[in-house]
Structure 1
Amino acid sequence: MQPVFEGRRCVIADDVRSSREVLNRWLQEFGLVTSCESDGLAAWESIQEDDCDLLITDIEMPGMSGLELLNNMRSGENPRYQNMPAIVVTSLLDEQVADVVQDFGGTTLVLKPLNKTVLHEVVGCVLSQRPVEPVYMSLQSDIQEASGISPSLRYLVERARANDC
């Protein structure tokens, strides 16, 4: 595959090392310069240190969650962070997760297990400023959503909103 976005910078935030490594490899094939972080706080610091074109973040992480990271980006005064595309990846099955991600300013949601073709499509659309769907699933995914809001998602939403400055 020909690198499409050579030199553009992406911060990856995921507490699962194997997920970070896979995302890192796939995005580098796409020409992106990547920075991998294991939690939202380290990702937030990385985003502020260097210009960044894209964030890919998990939701459930120790320390600062992906929702708290999005909240920091969108509620700050820097328009660069307010407008930076943010792809949220999660294995959290919940019928309201897409709405929550949108409420916190996520650009789109990609459900795990991740698929290279789907990820490249989504990243290509986001970085080219083409429209994206609210949710993308792995091509082999037959996952049924849980009904209602899960206790895990409810806790993360409440924690992120409580930390809203």
Structure 2
Amino acid sequence: MRRLPVFLVLDVSDSMVGEPRRLLEKGIETLIQLLRQDPHALETAYISVIAFAGKVETLTPLTDVISFYPPQLPLGSGTAMGLALEHLMKEIDQSVRRGSSERKGDWKPAVFFMTDGKPTYSHDISAKNNERLALQPGFIFALCPPLQDIEDCLPWKKRGEIQALA
């Protein structure tokens, strides 16, 4: 069966301590609840969690939404958005199944990049990743600064049903 890979790329830098961190955790909880309420998402959605501060780490590889449990989020200093994008692209290359003449591949991935928007990164890395992101049709990059509005950042969720991302 085709999977819908959903990557949560989360800023866990020290600027996210307190209320931003609480909103981040609430946003994850809300997203998972919404996915678990949708019969199609229950069959297709797979969640991965990538955390970034000064360094980047995959906390949860792609896991079906039924089995997914939010990981304990670390805390770090720095906000390496460029490295986070680079890590994300490697994860997508390694984890998302490509289609072939024998079988359909996964749906194009949905990415939720949740941050307070205060980067401390190299512009070279960022430019390289922006170019790669732009070349992937159907790639969804949702920056959700007002973390309270996570439901509004669900690009495929319309009128209670999941729309095709292709």
TM-score by length of 2: 0.43
The structure with the largest alpha-carbon Rg is 2
Instruction: Please identify which structure carries the higher helix content.
Output: 1
Structure number with higher relative contact order (C-alpha < 8 Å, ≥ 6 residues apart): 2
Please report the TM-score for the alignment, with normalisation by the length of structure 1: 0.43
